[in-house]
């Protein structure tokens, strides 16, 4: 091949090589862009709450809670699809309410409010009082899980409150670690004893009111959420004979 033919042949090949390089770079750029978009989409998906219908205002959350209780009382609780709820909740949770309940075996907040998995963030302790660990748990529910509502749930014939009243009256101390429960409930019990009649029911009610106030004023997280209108803290009494929850301390 002559020199001119060889030069002409190389010139014919050169643009093809440049085109291939440009095409490869463009393809690589598209691949990176596609990967970035995919990551962005996944990030948005990861941030989406697993139960979007649980994103509620405090008032709407309370309304939904009480509607669930009405169904429970009437014996028309919904059928919950626990299988798909497990799948949706495997990567996170966004409960629409937090409940501080007594540990009494007859009180089951998930049943009493006809709720599914991931709907309620429940803390249970005999006497439904807010100790340090419970306050911390409620702070987590509000600050991290964005729960808009806290319900302190007492109940009729509470054994922990009754034991506290007896310990104060008889000036005795229960065995084991039970005195820690008595100490926590004692302020409400003493206030009720001063009134002289229907002492147990009044102590149960006062204990709920006291712990609602304690949670509402807990700094720095819960009180700030209340002041900003992001959180509502209410109290309720569960009636053993009917299953009805009577709301109190709604201010």
pTM for this model (two decimals): 0.81
pLDDT, position 21: 44
* Domain spans, the chain: 1-48, 54-248
Convert the pLDDT of each residue in 192-237 to its tens digit: 999 989 999 999 999 999 999 999 999 999 999 999 999 999 999 9
Residue 186: which pLDDT band, with cuts at 50, 70 and 90?
Answer: very high
Alpha-carbon distance of 55 to 146, in angstroms, equals: 8
Percent residues over pLDDT 70 in the chain:
81
More confident residue, 146 or 34: 146
Percent residues over pLDDT 90 in the chain:
74
Alpha-carbon distance of 152 to 183, in angstroms, equals: 18
With residue 246 as reference, give the H or E element that holds it.
strand 245-248
Mean pLDDT of 161-169: 97
**pLDDT surpassing 70 at residue 71:** yes
- For the record, the structure tokens of 237 come out as 């009494």
pLDDT, position 86: 84
pLDDT, position 79: 84
pLDDT, position 72: 97
Asked if 97 and 147 touch (Cβ cutoff 8 Å), the reply is yes
Residue 251: which pLDDT band, with cuts at 50, 70 and 90?
Answer: low
pLDDT, position 64: 98
Alpha-carbon distance of 99 to 153, in angstroms, equals: 7
With b for 16 or more beta-carbon neighbours within 10 A and e for fewer, the 46-66 pattern comes to eeeeebeebebebeebbebbb
> Candidates 3.40.1050.10, 3.40.1160.10, 1.20.1090.10, 3.30.1960.10; correct CATH number of 54-248?
3.40.1050.10
**pLDDT surpassing 70 at residue 238:** yes
Mean pLDDT of 87-105: 95
Mean pLDDT of 37-54: 63
pLDDT, position 84: 77
Name the region of 139 (left: φ>0; alpha: ψ -120 to 50; beta: rest).
Answer: alpha
pLDDT, position 203: 98
Mean pLDDT of 131-140: 98
At 132, is the secondary structure helix, strand, or coil?
A: helix
**Which residues make Cβ contacts (< 8 Å) with residue 102, sequence separation at least 6?**
124, 125, 126, 127, 128, 153, 154, 155, 158, 160
**pLDDT surpassing 80 at residue 131:** yes
**pLDDT surpassing 90 at residue 46:** no
More confident residue, 44 or 106: 106
**Which residues make Cβ contacts (< 8 Å) with residue 202, sequence separation at least 6?**
191, 192, 195
């Amino acid at each position: 091949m002559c020199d001119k033919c060889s030069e002409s042949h190389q010139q014919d090949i050169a643009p093809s090589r440049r085109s291939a390089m440009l095409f490869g770079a463009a393809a690589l750029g598209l691949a990176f862009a596609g990967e970035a978009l995919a990551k962005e989409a996944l990030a948005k998906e990861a941030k989406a709450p697993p139960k979007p219908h649980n994103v509620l205002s405090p008032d709407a959350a309370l309304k939904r809670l009480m509607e669930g209780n009405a169904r429970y009382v009437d014996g028309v609780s919904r059928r919950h699809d626990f299988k798909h709820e497990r799948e949706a909740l495997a990567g996170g949770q966004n409960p629409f309410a937090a409940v501080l309940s007594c540990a009494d075996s007859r009180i089951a907040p998930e049943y009493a409010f006809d709720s599914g998995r991931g709907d309620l963030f429940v803390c249970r302790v005999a006497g439904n009082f807010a100790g340090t660990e419970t306050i911390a748990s409620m702070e987590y529910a509000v600050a991290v899980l964005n729960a808009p509502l806290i319900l302190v749930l007492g109940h009729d014939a509470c054994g922990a409150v009754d034991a506290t009243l007896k310990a104060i009256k008889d000036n005795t101390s229960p065995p084991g670690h039970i005195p820690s429960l008595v100490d926590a409930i004692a302020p409400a019990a003493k206030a009720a004893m001063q009134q002289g009649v229907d002492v147990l029911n009044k102590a149960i009610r006062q204990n709920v009111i006291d712990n609602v106030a304690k949670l509402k004023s807990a700094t720095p997280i819960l009180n700030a959420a209340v002041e900003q209108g992001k959180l509502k803290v209410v109290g309720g009494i569960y009636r053993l004979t009917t299953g009805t929850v009577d709301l109190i301390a709604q201010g």
